[in-house]
Amino acid sequence: MARRAALVFLGLAAPAVLVSLVIPGPAAGVLFAVLAMAFPVALIVLAVARDGRLGGLGPPLALLLVVLEGGVAAMLLLRGRVADGPWIGGLPAAAAVMIYGLWLAPLVVVALAHALAFDRSGLRSEDLDELERRFRDPGESA
């Protein structure tokens, strides 16, 4: 299910991105923003889904999607409010969302999620041994 959804999304999002770059107007810009943020997450889902499931990676990938989409929505809402808007951590709010929210927060979420799920759904030693047993070039080990 997750894998199929990712494929359908990617197959439809790619031409939609192209269309959003041709049509003028703010709605096309927002469409492009939404698709550009979701595209990398869909690629990860396509790569990690096994038997239609994401296993333990579902929650961190959902969080990554929320952070990316929420971050760009916040930046759009805060547009033009540097002078009169709030400042966070020494920066105008939109810039703070960009630096602390879109850069640093995903770094922690993604690095931990990858490491913690690796032995279970990334690469199991027994699978690696089986692959090497079946296909390793005999000349290399000689």
Partner 1 sequence: MLELASPAVIWSAVLYLAAVVGIGFWAARRTRSAKDFFIAGQGIGLLVTALAATSAAFSGFVFIGGPGLAYRIGLASMFICIPVGFTSGLLCWVVAKRLRLLAGVREVYTIPDVIRCRYGSRLAAGLAAVAVIVGTIGYLGAQLQALGILIEAVFGTKALLGAWSLPAAMALGTLVILVYATAGGMVAGVYTDVVQGTLMMGAAVAVFFHALEAGGGLERMARTIAGSEAFGPEHLDPLGATPVVTALGLFFVFAVGTLGQPHMLHKFFMLDDPRKLKWMPLAIGASQSLCLLIWLGVGLAVPALVAGGRLAPLAHPDQAAPQFLLGFAPPLLAGLVIAGILAAIMSTADSFVNIGAAAIVRDLPRALGMRVADELRWGRVAGVALTAAAAVFAFHYGDLIALLGTFAFGTFAAALAPAIAVGLNWRRVTAVAASASIATGMAVNLLVEFLGRQTSFAALPKPPFVPGVVPAAAAMAASFTVLFAVTWVSRCRASVAIDPAVEAVMEL
Under the binding rule (CB under 8 A), the answer on residue 65 touching partner 1 is no
Give whole-number Cα distances, 14 to 1, 17, 34, 48, 75, in Å. 20, 5, 12, 20, 23
Among 55, 56, 104, 120, binds partner 1 (CB under 8 A): 104
State which residue, 1 or 21, has the beta carbon closest to partner 1.
21
Whole-number minimum distance, CB 52 to partner 1, in Å? 14
Under the binding rule (CB under 8 A), the answer on residue 114 touching partner 1 is yes
Under the binding rule (CB under 8 A), the answer on residue 5 touching partner 1 is no
Among 125, 138, 141, 142, binds partner 1 (CB under 8 A): 125
Under the binding rule (CB under 8 A), the answer on residue 75 touching partner 1 is yes
Task: Round to whole Å and give the CA distance between 53 and 1.
Answer: 7
Whole-number minimum distance, CB 53 to partner 1, in Å? 15
Under the binding rule (CB under 8 A), the answer on residue 136 touching partner 1 is yes
